Each structure stands twice: as structure tokens, then as C-alpha cells.
Structure 1
């Protein structure tokens, strides 16, 4: 459950972010609705037909977050404050990246659900963080479509163990949604019991890391520097602290 800011504690509730009560929003007659691309498009016609202005923000990559912050700054007529926030985000991320060794490493990012496994491209949250850390994503160039519960997932690529073995990444990160978990809360992946899995460089060198949901499944927003720092600290614990 997310934390509700003090100023919003008495605000009306309109259900969950992924399944809002659009009739309730229309009833409230807001001056502006800020919607999330990839989640709220189905509500736009109803809102606009009721003369409710809507701004749709894309919140996936770090660049998306910065653009959204500047957009909200313009809406609220606080451009200077928004620009300072963005500058501080850049400064925080640069401080992490500057501590890393000057060597390129290959990375695979697995996304697991109760339905199976896919690979994340650099356009996903984890993929974006890995790119900022100068990691080379092994699925770059994949164009095959991947579908999920909410439709097409352009930031995902198909997974196969054979392909992973061929590309032999030096680092593996794992995000998980709805997959069975072990006693420590990590996803339980059957592939980890496969003898072939043990031959991957990342596995042999203990460079397989599970990523927390709050930073890598949901967009971290202004916590993007924390997500980058978390990923860096897993690979280089002597250089970067979480």
C-alpha cells in the first residue's frame, strides 16, 4: 500500500490505479486528470466527452520521468522548481555511475510471472537502469512481439534457455510478478535447477540478482537514482553502497 501525502488524506477515493471508477471522477468534476500511458487510455473518451481536461504521461524510462516532471512543473507554473528536481536526479545518478569500473559487461534481465518468463529490453525500468550503468543488454535488436494480460509489451522479448546460453551474459537481473516465491521471498525459477543454467557465466560467478518490486516493477519516479544505485551496488558492492 502506498503512502498517502498529508495534503491528500481527505481526498475522495476513485478505486485502484489500474481499475479506476471513471464515473466517480466525472462526478467530482476535476480541473485536470493526469493519466498513465498504457493503463488509462480506455477512460479518455469518457473524460473528454465530459469536458474534463486530461494529460497523459508516459512513466517507464528515466527520460520519461524527467519529461513528466517538467510537464507537471509547467502545469503548476513551477518550472524552476521542476528543473532543479531534474538536475538533482541527474547529479545523483552521475555520482553512482562515476564510481563504477570502466568496463562493459553484458546483462540479461529476466521477467518472471506465474505464466512464464520473458526478457526485458533496455526500454523497461530495469533495462533503463542497466543502460545508465553502461551494461550491454543481450536482447537488443529483438523485434518479436510479446503479449501479456494488458496487451502488447514492447519492452519485453521472448525467452529461451538456449538463446540465453548462447549469449552467455556476465550479469543476470530478475524481476518478478506473481511468480511462486521461496522462503526468502525470491522467485522460484525451475530453470535454476537445469544443469545448463549452471554453465552461464553470470551463474558461475554469482552475478545473479533479484530486483525489488517497488523499484523495478512499478516506476520508481523520483526514486530512479535509488534504483540505479541498488543495481550498481549488487554488482560492485565495494564501490557503491545501497
Structure 2
């Protein structure tokens, strides 16, 4: 091999090495740009929030969002979760080593700051909105996202799939949720819905859920006939609840009554019995006389059930139409 050929080969090798280095550099820079890429979204308070396109450290402030983010492929990026019993067993196990940031109504700012998240997600309640100024000062974006309807659940799953970069995983869960929802709704076809009432209770107060509430809306989707929807519109609360009126209940005479509780279901049921049980109007209500008063599972009705909406619907449908 002559010297000229050797020089030519050497030059070619050098060029290939340089080209490879440049390509690797560009790929690395591209990966960094993608990792640092931001997107602007409008949250449920009409705030425009700049968030990471693919967050790496996410804190979820309520059980419903934790459920949805987990099933949209976000398991490995969740660093903070709410203290809650309203979680599916799989989510509990899958996040057992994730730090708790407190109950939904009292999240710990200090704990959240120590976790150094690049995104915090909560719902449209004062307790979460109050975190915004402090966390934004620490350059931590807070996204407030309501989950008021079944459609919100599907839309949020899709959005979280975009954040996790696992759109196919999220879409598979969307398809599963849709199939379960449609099967539950099909149970009611051709059936006459009974007069129903959903009582929302704590140890301090009781109210009636209208179709504007998530749980009350499930009754509507199964055929309706929720007596709380018939009350004077002027008395309706935008939150989806109206004050409990024994006289109104007696007049409407619901055939099925559902009870949703915050806190210990047994204690709340006892308080309800003590409050209403001695009232002759209550004893004459058809649902009470016929033993059709049901205490619903806290984890499926006291909070948005997230991906388990079909499970919640099936429970309601079985209780609503058991006589048919």
C-alpha cells in the first residue's frame, strides 16, 4: 500500500470519526432539548400554566388523579401521592414506596418542596389553589384539573398519556374504560328507572346529590329519576349538592336511597339513623320500608373513581334495578 493511499484512508477514518461525534452530540443535545421542552396548558381555573412536556417528578394531590396518571404510564415518575384509602389495590401496591404528601384537604407544602417535583397536579378546591403562590415561587408549576364528568376521565387519561410519553398505554386504558362503561349502561336498556335519592353525608351534615355532582351524575347516566334534580332550581348548588329536606324526601317518596359518606361509613350511617330514623316521615318512605337503602363504597363514590367508573356504575345499576 503506497503512502498516498494510506493518507487517503486515514483522512476518511478521521472524517467518519468526526461525523460520528457530531451526530452523537446532536442526538444528545436533541434529547436534552426534548427533556427540557415545555408546553402551555389552560387548567380548570382558566390559568395558563407552563409545564414540562414530559415531567420527570410528579406529585398528585388526590386519589383520582393518582389513579389516572398511574394507568396512563406514569408509575415511574410519581414521587408524591395523597394519603388516601380510596385507591385500587394495584395502585396502592405500585406506589407503596412513593412519599405521601398528606390528605386531600391538607397537603404538606414542606413535603412537596422537599420532593423537588417538576409538576404538581390537584383539583379545583381551595386547599390546592392555596398552594399555587408558594410552589410557583419555587418554580414548581401547579396544574389544577377538575374531574367532574365521565368525559373528563377519558380526556385526562389521554392528556396524561401525552405527558408520560406513553400514548398507547393510555389509549388502551381509555378503550378498557369505555368498554366497561358501555356494558354497565347497557344493563339499563328498556328498564324503568325507580325514583332515586343519593344522600351525601358526614358526621356534621347531610345533603342531596344532584346530577351536577359526579356521583349523582352516575344515576342520570343509568336512566335518571334522581329526585334531587327536581328540587326548585333556585335552591340548587353549583357544586352539585342541595340541603337535605325530610319534607321534600317524603313528598317525592324515593324507591331507592343511596348513601355516600366521608369518614367512617358505620359512624355516618348511625348518625343518619339517629337524625332521621325517629322521624315518622322517614319511616314512611318507600325505600326505607322496603329495605332499599344502600351505603355505597367510599373509594368509588366519595371521590371520582377514575378508571373504575364501570365498577361504580355496575354497583348502582344492580341496586337501582334489583326488582326487575
* Both structures adopt the same fold (TM-score exceeding 0.5): yes
- In the alignment, which residue of structure 2 is the partner of 1:144? 235
- SS of 1:15's equivalent in the other structure is coil
Larger radius of gyration, structure 1 or 2?
2
Runs of 4+ in 1 over 6 A off after TM superposition: none
Instruction: Indicate the structure with greater helix content.
Output: 2
Distance 1:26 1:104, change over 3 A: same
- In the alignment, which residue of structure 2 is the partner of 1:20? 107
- Which runs of 5 or more structure 1 residues have no equivalent in the other structure? 147-152
- In the alignment, which residue of structure 2 is the partner of 1:77? 165
User: Which of residues 37, 40, 43 is equivalent to 2:124?
Assistant: 37
- Which runs of 5 or more structure 2 residues have no equivalent in the other structure? 1-84
**CA offsets per residue over residues 16-55 of structure 1, 9 Å max, x none?**
3332221332233212111222141110111122211222
Do residues 119 (structure 1) and 204 (structure 2) align?
no
TM-score of the pair, normalised by structure 2:
0.63
* TM-aligned CA deviation for residue 216 of structure 1: 1.0
- SS of 1:118's equivalent in the other structure is strand
Q: How many pairs does the alignment contain?
A: 231
- In the alignment, which residue of structure 1 is the partner of 2:184? 96
Q: Distance in 2 between matches of 1:112 and 1:222?
A: 24
Do residues 65 (structure 1) and 153 (structure 2) align?
yes
* TM-aligned CA deviation for residue 143 of structure 1: 4.1
8 Å contact from structure 2 (residues 194, 321) kept in 1: no
- In the alignment, which residue of structure 2 is the partner of 1:169? 254
- In the alignment, which residue of structure 2 is the partner of 1:131? 220
TM-score of the pair, normalised by structure 1:
0.82
Instruction: Indicate the structure with greater strand content.
Output: 1
**CA offsets per residue over residues 39-76 of structure 1, 9 Å max, x none?**
41110111122211222221343222222212211211
User: Which of residues 99, 105, 110 is equivalent to 2:194?
Assistant: 105
- In the alignment, which residue of structure 2 is the partner of 1:150? none
